[in-house]
Amino acid sequence: MQIDMRSGKEDGYDAITVSPHKFTGGPGAPGILLMRKSLYRLGKRPPSTCGGGTVAYVNGFNEEDTLYHDNIEEREQGGTPPILGNIRCALAFWVKESMGTTFIKQREDMYMKQAIRNLSSHTNVKILGDNKHDKGATLLGKPLDGSFVVKLLNDLFGIQARGGCACAGPYGHLLLDVNAELSLEIRDAILKGYNGLKPGWTRLSLCYTMSDEEVEYILSAIGFLARFGHRFLSLYDFDWHTGNWKFSHERFTCVVSCKKTNNQCNKLMQVTIPVSKEKYSERERFRHYLDAAKALCYFLPSSPLPRRPPADIDSSLVFFRV
């Protein structure tokens, strides 16, 4: 979106915060606070956070005689400034301005419509939030854990995403229909150390810099997991205390060696060998990864046995398949 503070106008913003680390190239950049100078009321007093670089002169006999810099940015940036982060922040804005907000919005809108249209066709995908394509869906009574889907996207397809509730717990309660009573029950379980019970979802971004092939690949990967993701539960261990999913080499070896013939195993190994960027196009590499995931999928049980939660956990608090 275009940022316009409307400085000096009656309907202008008093202050605005921006998170540049969400921009393309922005991870590692500091946050930004823009505000009217008239709102700063500490000009005659020490800054809100004192530190190196905020002081113009120190009187060693009376701290009330200490002089601080007049420049607000200097006064309020105690300690070593994040020089590299500031440069990264400036470059992120430079990229944004160079591309233009109109172009960025057009690309993002196009990819969003494509994603909703594609994912809405999968009965095992639930799109959270206010959209007309929202479909409620479950997989054998319970969905997959959002963090498990994130793990599979990474391990099978090299796609990085995030699990959890997007730094918005109350909003998550609303989206997932968690009422006050249920919220307290989850809280009690977490107090016992079972952070893995925290409800959430899978989230990822379709950036305007992505190629059409990349977006198509990501949506195909999600569609594959919507159909077959539950089969991979048999290859992972779940930590109830941390919520982490960890690939088990022992489980993999056992499944492959016990279920199929040597000829089938050799075929699997051939299709799962990484492919070279120099020899294959982007589309060919994406197709290879999808084929490898499908080949592995058919080695796995179609309905893996569910795990039992720890004895002191109410099974009704486990909202996902384990």
| Cβ proximity of 191 and 315 under 8 Å | no
172 and 304 in a single domain? The answer is: yes
pLDDT, mean of residues 19-26: 91
Q: What is the pLDDT of residue 110?
A: 95
Tokens 């049980």 sit on residue: 301
Any domain includes 3: no
Q: How confident is the model at residue 251 (pLDDT cuts 50, 70, 90)?
A: confident
77 and 159 in a single domain? The answer is: no
Q: What is the pLDDT of residue 266?
A: 61
End-to-end CA distance of the chain: 40
Question: 99, 129, 160 — which closes off a domain?
Answer: 99
pLDDT, mean of residues 12-36: 91
Q: Write out pLDDT tens, residues 90-105.
A: 999 999 999 999 999 9
Greater model confidence, 49 or 263? 49
229 and 147 in a single domain? The answer is: yes
106 and 95 in a single domain? The answer is: no
Q: What is the pLDDT of residue 182?
A: 94
110 and 222 in a single domain? The answer is: yes
Question: 48, 82, 99 — which closes off a domain?
Answer: 99
Structure pTM? 0.83
| Cβ proximity of 147 and 245 under 8 Å | yes
Q: How far apart are CA 179 and CA 186, in angstroms?
A: 11
Q: How confident is the model at residue 272 (pLDDT cuts 50, 70, 90)?
A: low
Question: 48, 65, 99 — which closes off a domain?
Answer: 99
209 and 131 in a single domain? The answer is: yes
Q: Write out pLDDT tens, residues 135-151.
A: 333 333 478 999 999 99
Domains in the chain: how many in total?
2
| Cβ proximity of 27 and 84 under 8 Å | no
Q: How confident is the model at residue 210 (pLDDT cuts 50, 70, 90)?
A: very high
Q: How confident is the model at residue 269 (pLDDT cuts 50, 70, 90)?
A: low
| Cβ proximity of 32 and 17 under 8 Å | yes
Per-position b or e across 158-180, b if 16+ CB within 10 A of its CB:
ebebebbbeeeeeebbebeebee
Q: What is the pLDDT of residue 240?
A: 96
Q: Assess whether pLDDT exceeds 70 at residue 318.
A: yes
Any domain includes 309: yes
Range of the domain at 28: 15-99
| Cβ proximity of 75 and 69 under 8 Å | yes
77 and 110 in a single domain? The answer is: no
Q: Write out pLDDT tens, residues 147-193.
A: 999 999 999 999 999 988 877 788 888 888 899 999 999 999 999 99
Q: Is the alpha carbon torsion for 196, 167, 72, 25 positive or negative?
A: positive
Any domain includes 202: yes
Greater model confidence, 180 or 271? 180
94 and 111 in a single domain? The answer is: no
Distances, alpha carbon 232 to alpha carbons 151, 172, 209, 287, in Å:
11, 26, 31, 20
Going by C-alpha positions, the residue among 221, 235, 245 that lies closest to residue 147 is 245
Q: Kindly report the average pLDDT of the chain as a whole number.
A: 86
Any domain includes 307: yes
Q: What is the pLDDT of residue 259?
A: 60
Q: What is the pLDDT of residue 161?
A: 92
